[in-house]
A = this chain, B = another copy of it.
Amino acid sequence: MKTGTLYLIPTTLGGETVNDIIPAEVQTKVTELRCFIVENIKSARRFLRKVDRTFPIDDCEFFILNHRTDVGELYSFLQPAMKGNDIGLMSDAGCPGVADPGGAIISLAHSKGLKIHPFVGPSSILMTLMGSGFSGQNFIFHGYLPKERKSRISALKRFESDTRKTRMTHLFMDTPYRNMNVLDDLLNVLADPTMLCIASNLTLPSQDIRSMTIKEWRTKAYDLSKRPAMFAIGTVV
């Protein structure tokens, strides 16, 4: 029997404009699916409604995959695909498998011989890299910074010294309520000429991307406390 495909469905980064931001082929495929593995059921239902107001959500099967999901359950999530039905995997926001728990089900699907089909979609990592003006020849995404201040500062200093040597672009993030602490640390510990890019509210009407030296950043007041943000330290090419 032909097995189903696991489609990796990107969702928006919190904006309302699904039809503007999510490519047409993703929307078309989504309306054909009736089985979903989702990080957050509420945001998944909202997304489906936005793709198609008449989407038969109540006829769909949903499995929840988040950090509390028991690994032992995962194989049962793939049963519909083993029986020939396609499945959609959706993250809470953005692309499944990137900085979310989706990887576990994707690797299990590979090991069961299922076809994996990622789609094009919003990624704050990629959009920050694009918008920074820093080298996009090689880059590293570190995920969340260490919570503890001393380790965080030593990580930031390491990124700075590495980009000077290798021109590598270093991307990292934190939760919005810690953004101002991160910015304080950046302005306190990095050197005047080091380039810092901050991209916030990506894909929203209030999207803002600024890239300048630490010395210039120190002269600006910038409130990031309620804006999802991505930071980059890098080298101008």
A-side interface residues toward B, CB under 8 Å?
8, 17, 19-25, 28, 95-104, 106-111, 116-123, 125-143, 202-203, 207, 209-212, 236-237
Top-8 shortest CB links A-B = A107-B133, A106-B133, A20-B25, A97-B130, A98-B136, A118-B130, A140-B140, A118-B131
Chain B residues, CB < 8 A from A203: 120
Do B130 and A137 touch (CB < 8 A)? no
18 pairs of residues in contact across A and B, judged by CB atoms under 8 Å: A8-B131, A21-B120, A22-B23, A23-B23, A95-B126, A95-B130, A98-B129, A102-B136, A103-B237, A106-B133, A107-B237, A108-B133, A111-B212, A116-B131, A116-B211, A118-B131, A120-B121, A123-B123
Q: A21: which of B25, B141, B210 is its contact (CB, 8 Å)?
A: B25
Given known A8-B131, A23-B21, contact A212–B110 (CB-CB < 8 A): yes
Q: How far is the CB of A147 from chain B (nearest CB, A)?
A: 15
- Residue among A126, A132, A142, A237 facing the most chain B CB atoms (10 A cut-off): A126
Given known A20-B23, A107-B237, contact A140–B138 (CB-CB < 8 A): yes
Chain B residues, CB < 8 A from A118: 127-128, 130-131, 202, 209
Q: How far is the CB of A67 from chain B (nearest CB, A)?
A: 11
Do A110 and B211 touch (CB < 8 A)? yes
Q: How far is the CB of A62 from chain B (nearest CB, A)?
A: 20
Given known A103-B236, A106-B133, contact A120–B122 (CB-CB < 8 A): yes
- Residue among A22, A102, A133, A210 facing the most chain B CB atoms (10 A cut-off): A133
Q: How far is the CB of A222 from chain B (nearest CB, A)?
A: 15
Chain B residues, CB < 8 A from A140: 138-141
Chain B residue with minimal CB distance to A202? B118
Chain B residues, CB < 8 A from A116: 131, 133, 209, 211
